[in-house]
Amino acid sequence: MALVALKCMQLLPNGLGGTVMISDCLHGKVRAEMVPKLGFPAWFPTVLGCYKLTQAVLNWVAGGAYTPLAQGLFAFQLGGAAFTHTIVEKKIVGNIPVLVFFSSSVIVHSLHRGGAMAWPLVFAGHAVLAAVGFATGYLVVAMGDGGRKAAGALPLSPVKWSKKRGF
């Protein structure tokens, strides 16, 4: 029962949020917030909406057979959310929901199929995926209107590091 409840909780950011974001190409309301405020490319909200809906659907299709894949996608997405709250918005408190949903992702994956994978292994895998999602945030900003210069201006930017090395 807890597994179903946690998967239903994940439908809020991914099902509802994904639906609003995927339709952004029609109404532009999400783009109006994300592009000037966060520096993301104009196409990003629609693509993120597709990604979120894919994760939401994979949680439930085929009797939940793809739940581990869905939870991995969610961990990557949450890394990107942590990047947005920490680096772009500079609002550490915005990571509280990220931590709650990250915990739910580890628990759902750990409980899937009667606990087929030990939670420490699941946690480690999700932490790696979240770290890659976090790092991908710099790439997304670099694809926005500000380009590489905007990504390089962000704290902890690997773009700064690569410029020092001559890349």
Give per-residue pLDDT as tens, 39-55.
999 999 999 999 999 99
Q: How confident is the model at residue 77 (pLDDT cuts 50, 70, 90)?
A: very high
Tokens of 87: 């680096």
Domain residue spans of the chain? 2-164
Q: What is the reported pTM?
A: 0.90
Tokens of 47: 């693509």
Distance of CA 101 to the CA centre of its chain: 10
What is d(CA 59, CA 57) in angstroms, rounded to the nearest whole number? 5
pLDDT at residue 113, as a whole number: 79
pLDDT in tens, 127-145: 999 999 999 999 999 999 9
Which helix (H) or strand (E) element contains residue 3?
Answer: helix 2-11
Q: What are phi and psi of 36, to 5 degrees?
A: -70, -35
pLDDT at residue 21, as a whole number: 94
pLDDT at residue 163, as a whole number: 54
Q: What percent of the chain has pLDDT over 90?
A: 72
pLDDT at residue 165, as a whole number: 54
For residue 6, the SS3 value is helix
